[in-house]
Structure 1
């Protein structure tokens, strides 16, 4: 899905609450302090390659290097390139300033829940995009649960696109900043008399 398709999806979902929720989660990913500190993990049967690739693209396009994810894998092949050999042990080393983003439509297996809990206890921020897993959501600081089996207006794939695109959005101006800019615009340049 390209940027135009994601924009169209946003337009179609306007007013449903989904755009706002995916934007909140996407912007929460920006809180990661450094490149490599955004850990993306799924289940043994469902590695989140798709969202990891989009987050990597957004890191480059937005100038936010902290969005460049570390894909955490259950059984990384020993002959894989170094960036594809990161195993679950990395979750044990998660710290404050890092973000663990769990992306799965399946129920999180107990070993994953245990690692997520450990990462939370060491100060990592836990975010989740899931198919309605109450155990995972109870550990997450913020989570979006999509109805199982595509029962809602937003597919799991669509949600991944909305979240990753929102993650690349730069900070919006606050109300005071917007009012100050507006006041500057309407007052126009002053001419010395």
Structure 2
């Protein structure tokens, strides 16, 4: 998906809440402290190659080196280049300040959920894009569920999040932050 397609998708989704969710996850990705500390892992049958490439591009284009991802693979070949040889054992060394970004369109396998739980206990930030897996969402600090019959495809959600990660963060003014806080606490207010 090129930048024009992402812009069109954003326009189509402007009033749906999807862009806000993508921005929140994108901002959360930026909290990773250092290059290499953003770990992307998928399932044994679906490694997140595409998102890894997009986040690498966003890191380069935005100058946000902390977005430089590390692809964690289930069974990397021993003769693969070093950046493609990072296996699941890397998750055993996840530390505070690092981010584990999990992508699982289907139900996440138990071995993945166990590793995610261990990484969370060490202080890593857990983010996820899932297909509605409640166990994975329960382990994540922030996640997006992509329904199979929704407006956005699993691939489309990844594009929205990676583009949002590279965007400059716009801080709302004090009034806007207070209004949002009040709405969260008391619910929407309606006036005549």
Query: TM-score normalised to the size of structure 2?
Result: 0.89
1:1-193 map, 5 Å: 1-148=1-148, 151-175=149-173
Quote how far apart the aligned CAs of 1:106 are.
1.4
Taking the aligned partners of 2:158 and 2:24, their CA distance within structure 1 comes to 13
Per-residue deviation, residues 10-43 of structure 1 (Å, max 9, x unmatched)? 0001110111111111111000000000000000
Aligned alpha-carbon RMSD (Å): 1.2
Distance 2:4 2:20 in 1: 18
SS in 2 for 1:95: coil
Give the whole-Å Cα distance in 2 for the aligned partners of 1:16 and 1:63.
Answer: 30
- Pairwise CA distance, 1:100: 0.2
**Where in structure 1 do 4 or more consecutive aligned residues deviate above 2 Å?**
none
Distance in 2 of aligned mates of 1:110 and 1:93: 19
Deviations 1:162-184 (Å, cap 9, x if unpaired)?
Answer: 000000012214416xxxxxxxx
Spell out, residue by residue over 1:54-82, the C-alpha distance to the aligned partner (whole angstroms, 9 max, x if none).
00000000000000100000000000000
TM-score, reference length from structure 1: 0.88
Separation of aligned partners in 1, 2:93 and 2:76: 17
Q: Secondary structure at the match of 1:78?
A: coil
Mapped partners of 2:172, 2:138: distance in 1? 31
- Secondary structure of 1:100's aligned partner: strand
After superposition, what is the alpha-carbon deviation per residue over 1:81-137, rounded to whole angstroms, capped at 9, x for unaligned? 000000001111001100000012011111000000000000000000010101111
| Higher relative contact order, structure no. (Cα contacts within 8 Å, ≥ 6 residues apart) | 1
Cα distance in 2, alignment partners of residues 172 and 140 from structure 1: 24
Rounded to whole Å, the distance in 1 between the matches of 2:125 and 2:131 is 20
Look up the match of 1:185: none
CA distance in 1, matches of 2:5, 2:146: 20
Question: Cα distance, 1:5 vs. partner?
Answer: 1.1
